[in-house]
Structure 1
């Protein structure tokens, strides 16, 4: 008769405590563990508790806790029942679990503050849909129909519905003439044949400046002077990385006033960023198709010790204003990146961290206080 193996002997002698296994049994145990559903292992934790001598003395003393209270209630204060009683001691250094109350998302806190700043400066808020025709998103802003910004690699075009409606004929004719010949502004325009079919294509708005164009078109001479702002989403066909998002927020503003000039533009931007905590603001020359003069807006990063670009600004060209408003009047305009400003305040180095909704970050991040 064949001699039984270590494994067979082990199975017949189960159960075992692992601490009592012999070398042969340990070998059999390890071999059987490699096989599926042959043996089951339970982990049992044993704890031995021993009272120190002082606790035995306390038990013998038969202490009474009837006159010890945990908290002081309004009724105790009223009937004086707290008198002649002792309060339980609390260890204020002991580790306790943190309690996180409900609060706004820190990005929403920043948005609310930014809106408050512009409202306090006398601006009205403008709003509009995320889906726009290319007419309002590009053409009304004097962006040529062959401009690289209108390519698929930069813009999200909509398949359904692929096209939208053009506005009133007077706006269409004005914008068409601005592109083709300058529309009585002294400009030669872009000097090409403007296509209404191209202007009808639907896109996700690539900037909030589209709202500025629509707001100007809705104004009348009697409404001037006027100041508007918005804080809204826009979309770019970007590769997402530490400094780029395909969905971003822009802080937009316009001032339509016959008496304003470039110095006023610098003043508005400087005041805004000071209210956001940036003392050093730099305005330097830039280029945008729909503004002249054009300027980039930089603020000094106190930690990185360098200037950081936060947006663009300028004065709308007559080719933008006259077809929409009917007259030439200075329009100060700016479009500022909100995420970068927020990242600087919170010390966030990866812009994606603004929206990842990490619970630990949301609970621990400081409130937006200015």
Structure 2
């Protein structure tokens, strides 16, 4: 009865006896029986001044927009203009723009075009012949293992995928690998497998395009300069410093008078336009260049040297089978993502391509 009484009456009006109060206090100690609710009621009434104001016309006519009519009639002289607080936060407006990595790619392409280079293009899917064998990479090299390369399968009929319209190259590459042929080298002193060369893969570097370009050149085409900015694929474990799909900046200069000093000059010119005027080279090793160098630039903000790519001069074992004669070929391969991440201050390469619309809207434009 007491609980029923509590449910049907307003708490403010309940007057409990001493025994009833003790009962309520006891029940309050038990869970899910009594709920304590505090409720406040406030009453507001107008003052005499407020009552008088409600009877007055409080509407103020202000000019919202400064139109030709307002100027012609001189309304701005008699009516107040609506004030605007320019410090008030407003919703951000995001216009359409290209992805910041694509902006960088277009900028880099334009640098090489301005320097007189021609752009190389090619397919993502290549044969091991063009991607590896033509660059004098031995068939037992770790780069050919499944853990480093995305293999797709065989390329069809024997020999056709790699030969195309260049049948003379096939035996030259084979001879160079096995015994050096007429390059002055001893080769790799191991049997060369045509079956291995036919395997299809996703290109692991855009240097494959350099090999294909050399194979098409004629002596009267020299000197010549080519570049490519393209996607490559590596069977890498994805982490903050590795991607399995990324982009490279490749270039070659074929010139009988070219030397390592010219190579440094081209790279200094390129990196200077990228905001890195100081360039240095360190001795390194790559299978298809000799000499080979690592390319470092001095970071003006971090005050330290950072590595951004590799370069060198193609070995005779690469040039002679493809061109038919030996001539200096300057070559370089640079990591585009590393260059872009340094510019935008990104430490995790995965953030370059994450599905984040907010990042793409707020990222600054690529401007050098």
The normalised TM-score by structure 2 is: 0.83
For structure 1, the 5+ residue unaligned runs are 33-45
After superposition, what is the alpha-carbon deviation per residue over 1:29-60, rounded to whole angstroms, capped at 9, x for unaligned?
Answer: 5999xxxxxxxxxxxxx999999999988766
Counterpart of 1:35 in structure 2 is: none
How many residues are aligned here?
344
Q: Does 1:312 align with 2:310?
A: yes
Whole-angstrom CA distance in 2 between matches of 1:211 and 1:52: 87
Aligned partner of 1:102 in structure 2 is: 96
Q: Is the 8 A contact 2:155 2:198 kept in 1?
A: no
CA separation of 1:181 and 1:54: change in aligned 2, threshold 3 A: farther
Tell me if 1:72 matches 2:72.
no
Alignment of 1:185-224 (within 5 A): 185-224=183-222
Q: Measure the CA separation in 2 of the matches of 1:51 and 1:161.
A: 91
Structure 2 gaps of 5+ residues are: 12-23, 36-40
Q: 2:161 aligns with which of 152, 162, 165?
A: 165
Note the alpha carbon deviations across 1:131-165, whole angstroms, 9 max, x for none. Answer: 00000000000001111111111111004768871
- State the match for 2:149 in structure 1: 155
Query: 2:124 matched to 1:93?
Result: no
Instruction: State the Cα RMSD in Å.
Output: 3.4
Query: Whose radius of gyration is greater, 1 or 2?
Result: 2
What is aligned with 1:274?
Answer: 272
Helix, strand or coil at the partner of 2:151:
coil
Cα offset, 1:258, TM superposition: 1.2
Q: Distance in 1 between matches of 2:334 and 2:206?
A: 10
1: CA distance, partners of 2:96 / 2:356: 15
In the superposition, relative to structure 1, how do residues 83 and 127 fare at CA in structure 2: closer, same or farther (>3 Å)? same
1:29 to 1:138, Cα distance in 2 relative to 1, 3 A: same
CA contact (8 A) 1:131 1:204 kept: yes
Aligned 8 A contact 1:322 1:328 in 2: yes
Asked if the contact 1:162–1:201 (Cα under 8 Å) also holds between the matched residues in 2, the reply is: no
Distance 2:250 2:32 in 1: 71
Equivalent in the alignment of 2:294: 296
From 137, 143, 146, the equivalent of 1:143 is 137
Q: TM-score, normalised by structure 1?
A: 0.82
